[in-house]
Amino acid sequence: MSTIAGARPRRARSRAARTARAGWLLSLPSITVMVLLTLAPLVSVVIGAISADGWERLQQLIEAPGFTQTLRNTAVWVVVGTVGSLLVGLAGALALQHPTVRLTGLWRSVLLIPWITPTVVAATAWKWFYSRDYGLLNALLLEVGVVDEPVSWLTNTSIALYAVVAVHVWATFSFVMLMTSAGLAAIPAELYEAARMDGAGALRSFLSITLPSIRDILFIVTLIVTVWTLNSFLPVWIMTKGGPAGATNIVPVQLYQYFQLGDRTAIYVLAAFQLAFSVAIAALYVRQTRKEDAA
């Protein structure tokens, strides 16, 4: 009897091993393709960036007059774009959770339209919307008397970057709204009722109940939106191509410009910079998700 009982676990382990081997064999083609399409380019970028030519090209980029402006534009693009998306998305989620709002499903579907709209279509539409002579925005502002003459939204070096950032915020806030809405829906209503009985106002309830309850969700959403914003290329390229006079030039656009020029070493250097930032964000994301799983 003991021999038979001992043989059963061995047979079970043998079947599990065969199943695991079959799974690896079936997954091997897709894993190989992923390695070739993902890991190989990453390795080539790192090798090209740390080579002697890469260090020399990095020095040249640092000394170039427009490189500092590109980095500054990228910092503004990432910070304003991420913070704007978070604020607008959180405001939308809070509005949809308010008890006086009806037809929340319909409103949520409408507010998701910017997120599901193709970037090329959205950027082209916004480019016409911003047009100095034919744009609807200037027509509305002139009609209500906010401005006395049409504003050059995409050709004015002082406001062009923020005009394009507004488009990015418009396109990404829906994702933030969707994610935070799920977190808000999980907060027990009894907590707000107890806070009201204790005399807490709306602001105190938001700071003491709402924010702590969705803190982890907001952290993860912030990381995701930051990476999206850093790697965003199409809105800027379609609307301004980095102009006017480099006012909207950011690292992804500069990368594409070097690609057009065939400057491979500069591509390696900028891509390595962008990769390092993205990997740091990804590491924070993985760390946070593991912390949540452990909890």
Q: What is the pLDDT of residues 147-162, one digit of tens each?
A: 899 999 999 999 999 9
What local confidence, expressed as pLDDT, does residue 3 receive?
A: 52
Confidence at residue 129, expressed as pLDDT on a 0 to 100 scale: 95
Assign 1 a pLDDT band (cuts: 50, 70, 90): very low
Cis peptide bond N-terminal to 188, omega within 30: no
Q: What is the DSSP letter of 149?
A: S
Q: Give the N- to C-terminal CA distance of the chain in Å, as an integer.
A: 43
Q: Once rounded to an integer, what is the mean pLDDT over residues 101-123?
A: 88
Neighbours of 279 (CB within 10 A): 12
- CB-based contacts of 168: which residues, under 8 Å, 6+ apart? 77, 81, 84, 85, 229, 232, 235
CA 38: distance to chain centroid? 20
Residue 64, classed as helix, strand or coil, is coil
pLDDT at residue 6, rounded to an integer = 52
Work out the burial of residue 85: count CB atoms within 10 Å of its CB; fewer than 13 is exposed, 13-18 middle, 19 or more buried: buried
Please determine, for residue 9, whether its predicted confidence score (pLDDT) is greater than 70: no
DSSP alpha helix (H) spans, the chain: 2-34, 40-50, 52-63, 65-97, 104-111, 113-116, 119-129, 136-144, 160-185, 189-197, 202-205, 211-213, 215-231, 234-239, 251-261, 264-294
Q: How does residue 257 score in pLDDT terms, banded at 50, 70 and 90?
A: very high
Q: Tell me what pLDDT residue 105 has.
A: 81
Angle at CA of residue 192, ends 110 and 181, nearest 5°: 25
Look over the chain and give the mean of its residue pLDDT values, rounded to a whole number: 87
Tell me, what's the pLDDT at 229? Answer: 94
Q: What is the pLDDT of residue 205?
A: 86
Model confidence pLDDT, tens digit, residues 26-39: 888 888 888 788 88
Work out the average pLDDT over 261-285: 86
Read off the pLDDT of residues 191-244 as tens digits, 9 standing for 90 and up: 888 888 888 888 888 888 888 889 889 988 998 999 999 999 999 999 999 989
Q: Which segment of 187-191, 261-265, 285-289 scores lowest on mean pLDDT?
A: 285-289
Give me the pLDDT at residue 140, please.
Answer: 94
Question: Cβ distance 240 to 252 under 8 Å?
Answer: no
